[in-house]
Amino acid sequence: MARRPDEEYDYLFKVVLIGDSGVGKSNLLSRFTRNEFCLESKSTIGVEFATRTLQVEGRTVKAQIWDTAGQERYRAITSAYYRGALGALLVYDVTKPTTFENVSRWLKELRDHADANIVIMLIGNKTDLKHLRAVATEDAQSYAEREGLSFIETSALEATNVERAFQTILSEI
């Protein structure tokens, strides 16, 4: 069966979203793929994924974004989902320092299980909660530079930099 014209693409890129539970991975996914935000977002169980086809540097890219559960009890199943991933968005919550402190653990897991050439972007999410900020942009920026990661801050709620984050990682791939 032939593919419909709207399904044609030059590249299929698998990108995984990782980070602690509650940092906003699912809302980044829904904002990017459906332009939606859900205030009553529930914890992801296991893994979900969504796709979006877009233009990146003149090419049609089908982005397959995998949203992994951040909870410890699902850690065992996620290592299989790193397989074939060309990019990873490592997300923390700018209002919760522990989620930033755990970034190094997520990065180690990623480097242990994913392809050595995977493109990784560090994302500080929930910038709309300015009055609650607890992780300085400079701290995350210098961490990203030390680890060779690209870095951006986003707000899935306000749709700030969400498109830019995905466009950037897809063009780096």
Q: Check if the beta carbon of residue 17 is closer than 8 Å to that of residue 85.
A: no
Domain count, the chain: 1
Count how many Cα atoms sit within 13 Å of the Cα of residue 170 in the half-sphere of its side chain: 27
Tell me the residue range of the domain where 158 lies.
Answer: 5-172
Secondary structure (DSSP) of 137-165: HHHHHHHHHHHT-EEEE-BTTTTBSHHHH
This prediction's pTM: 0.91
Helix (H, G, I), strand (E, B) or coil at 30: helix
> Mean of the per-residue pLDDT values for the chain?
91
What tens digit of pLDDT does each residue of 70-104 get? 665 556 655 677 889 999 999 999 999 999 999 99
Count how many Cα atoms sit within 13 Å of the Cα of residue 70 in the half-sphere of its side chain: 21
CATH assignment at residue 142: 3.40.50.300
